[in-house]
Structure 1
């Protein structure tokens, strides 16, 4: 009885911290929500991280049909969750409500996904590069959410983060508000690499909050490859399901 009373009193005193369900506890994410939304039980394409049909556990995942038909310029993608309710609300809170503590949560969940991934398919990169924002959007928002995720992710994985490995040389419309067929043209030639020597012959990890059509990461990976990058892996907190791209 004493233990039950103490546990009940502790629960009453603790703030309701789970950002998804509001359950009382000391962490931003309760164990139940962590298991439900971030357990990563469903197989994903090793290249683009789109969901794959169930397959025997002893078989390595094959690339999806789209990646087999037209291989992207990036080589692999690790995602912590699907960009769907209720996870998508967290991304919006980070971007538009300045809930920067969520960036550390995203980084931790993404680091967990990286550690679960098969190291043979997903070797660690030499450097992490946050997807850069244009000057106008950076000025409006006041921070780059990709960089806010990349810093704690790099610390968790023991990988250096280079905040300006890539720069955005022109402002573009938000990809999320651009028609799907116009997204490639919208992002084309938007990036530059100031120091080729940091990229040449190396494996670069790109960090972003959400991957939808993949055009932004595709363009940035192509830019890195033109400057000599040997391999590019995407690390994204959330992956938009293909039917909603």
Structure 2
């Protein structure tokens, strides 16, 4: 009965529990509250930490090329499953829901002083990987964020000319080695002096983000931030 009343009022049902919705997005408040919100994390790379306002040891020892990572969730249940279904099963409504919630997170961050970027750029896929999957989930996320946040985005600035091994199959050292010369800038890219935000689904070791941020900074970008749905904890932590 509640679900029927919600539909009559134009409120979408919750995509997680199929129950009656209670807001403009297809997720009920109960399910939204149960998502693995990130909480305390490193002020630079967003890796989960015991207390707020700290910078992790890795970022202190070797500051990354990017300025800040913004992610609303830990990579854990049920967000991990939602991302997998969006990414590997083309469940686009789930991706759109996650993008809209990320947009809300970013709007709050902007109100708290996070500078808005000039442009969003998604992490590119190689041509082979794009043919296999038929879509780039980072590109879709970037487009949805650009629309929600009234930001520009460009899907053709970054290129991935080499088809490298899957990052999730490698350890941290192998990930860095795997990404050497994996990315390039197109001739149309106008990076000089720009504040850019790189969009991806999950940040794990940060090797992809670091490789692209270093490329953009070397080309003259003033600042590079990372926007993603979820951040994994350090190995062995939950």
TM-score in same-fold range (> 0.5): yes
127-136 vs 190-199, greater mean Cα deviation: 190-199
Say whether residues 1:24 and 2:57 are aligned partners: no
The match for 2:41 is 44
CA distance in 2, matches of 1:164, 1:174: 22
Q: Rate the CA distance shift 1:81–1:127 in 2: closer, same or farther, 3 A.
A: same
> What TM-score does the superposition give when structure 1 sets the normalisation length?
0.86
CA distance in 2, matches of 1:88, 1:17: 21
Unpaired runs of 5+ in structure 1? 1-5, 56-60
Say whether residues 1:83 and 2:78 are aligned partners: no
CA distance in 2, matches of 1:18, 1:119: 28
CA distance in 2, matches of 1:175, 1:70: 21
62-71 vs 26-35, greater mean Cα deviation: 26-35
The match for 2:5 is 10
CA distance in 2, matches of 1:240, 1:137: 23
Alignment of 1:1-245 (within 5 A): 7=2, 10=5, 17-25=13-21, 27-37=25-35, 42-55=39-52, 61-117=53-109, 122-195=114-187, 198-243=190-235
Residue 113 (structure 1) shift: 1.3
Which SS does the other structure have where 2:125 is aligned?
Answer: coil
Unpaired runs of 5+ in structure 2? none
Residue 28 (structure 1) shift: 2.7
Q: Rate the CA distance shift 1:12–1:158 in 2: closer, same or farther, 3 A.
A: closer
> What TM-score does the superposition give when structure 2 sets the normalisation length?
0.89
